[in-house]
Chains A and B, each alone.
Chain A
């Protein structure tokens, strides 16, 4: 195995560890804001993974400059396109989650999801 390969795998391992951190935060944290931070870490880790996979050593971003039209000179633009789409999705779900959090906070004055459930049970509706 060449050193370049090893370095590449090292970066992907980092992406997976970040994904795990984000996933478990979103699942296990009680605090809604921390959950949302977890969500963002999880999504960003996926984009890191995609960006890593789309990059080819020594090639440039697919924008034609100086008249170089050889396919060999550029990286595949699709992974970057996927990352952009993913970012749009992630921004919108984050906004939705934040707005839900604001609603809940105004009503129950806490960010703790378990406590909100307890209060709801007390209301008995």
Chain B
């Protein structure tokens, strides 16, 4: 066995042990350890990706060298390695971009605890991606939930504690259902390793034995994971959790945490249940319907929202709806589109959160439409980044959002019952997305002083200006402090990386799509 095969296990262990290590370090050192760990794990994942891409087949790593039905296994294909790498990149960018906010918003004595949570979060995400054992997956789902809860409530105010409580309640309901579904499946098949369960499920499906318990189990697991990843009716905790937590938490939660659960669900569909059994069941239709409702309701809620972070959070609800709609199509193309959207949304949503915080900082902390007017001029890079993110979310060509919408539409073509609803939902959702994202973009590029003399005068008084003495250009800049790129070089670099990532995903999607297809073929 090649030495590279140890890397997935090593990355999980490094992240797992660096968590407790951070409890005894000072905040500054914990930050360094955390960044180093993310970089190392990213490099290791890239090596694994290169190796698996070269051999062209997935490898199985036996933990403790116990043979198949007894031991615990890690199984890595192209898609898993790529996801591990991608999650590391996004997490590093989020952590780097939110460093200043963390220092301001988290108490001095609790700084290092934040990095404990982040390390454990990365550990659980990696384990969810790599593991081949259902019960291990369940345990790491819980670790993921607990550390995500820590990320929300590290910034101590009433809102975040309430949001963390609501998040925990929803997550626990979801994991209860997941655990029950898993026990059913274990009871039916007698195995915990995914590949072994699949063999048994295949036999059960052929003989038609235990059909109802099998479907109940698949349903329970799907609903459980859907609840945890905030599919529409279970999203109540999401806007507060994303809207009021510190910047890097919001970015990581929106772009990684829910994606880990979705990835696990896709893995369960392919490797545990088997795709043929899934297509034969009605479970996918339920996910499809809720996905479509989520796409539209999420956008409608976002339109009513006045505050920028909460608007972006509601937009996440809509995007998760897209992903579940793709899964619900229950075709190979639908899955490819969903996984591409997981990647594209992960890159775009974190960009939007970082850009939004830049705009807020340039508007004296104001987060509403009116406060943000003209902030695109005051913080140019954040303005550009927000525009790029918005265009991507709306689905403009050249940006990553367009590619995923295109693939969703292509996947739906020729589907007997689901083609028309998908097209209609995509169209409506795109219009709604455009309505609220473009409203925000126009708002950040419109001068705060609009020409209506009375209103302008009242704003000028608020801002402490003597209206009439200064030119419009100066006034447009006013209303907050002007932020240049050189003031925040790290954040600027992170934003530029996000923008570049978005363009790469949008303009160069072909190799990624091919890799997802290859990865899915290795999945089974």
Contacts and interface: CB of A to CB of B under 8 A. Distances in A.
Interface of A: 19, 22-23, 26-27, 32, 35, 39, 42-43, 46, 49-50, 53, 78-79, 82, 85-86, 89, 92-93, 96-97, 100-101, 103-104, 107-108, 113, 116-117, 119-120, 123, 125
Contacts of B176: 19, 22-23, 26, 39, 42-43, 46
A116 B168 contact: no
Nearest to A49: B183
Nearest to B166: A113
Contact of B168 (A23, A82, A93, A103): A93
A67 B121 CA distance: 46
A93 B173 contact: no
Contacts of A19: 176, 180
B522 interface: no
B420 interface: no
Given A23-B176, A93-B145, A117 B162 contact: yes
B187 interface: yes
Nearest to A45: B180
A125 B169 contact: no
B384 to A, nearest CB: 30
A97 B165 CA distance: 7
Contacts of B186: 50, 53, 79, 82
A42 B173 CA distance: 9
Task: Give the size range of B's interface with the partner.
Answer: 20 to 34
Interface stretch (B153-161, B260-268, B451-459): B153-161
Given A79-B186, A100-B153, 19 more contacts: A26-B172, A39-B176, A43-B176, A43-B179, A50-B186, A82-B135, A82-B183, A85-B135, A86-B179, A89-B142, A92-B142, A96-B146, A97-B168, A104-B162, A108-B158, A113-B165, A116-B162, A120-B162, A123-B158
Contacts of B520: none
Interface in B169-208: 169, 172-173, 176-177, 179-180, 183, 186-187, 192
A100 B161 contact: yes
By CB atoms of chain A within 10 A, which of B145, B146, B149, B172 has the most? B172
9 contacts: A19-B176, A19-B180, A26-B173, A26-B176, A39-B172, A39-B176, A93-B168, A107-B158, A113-B162
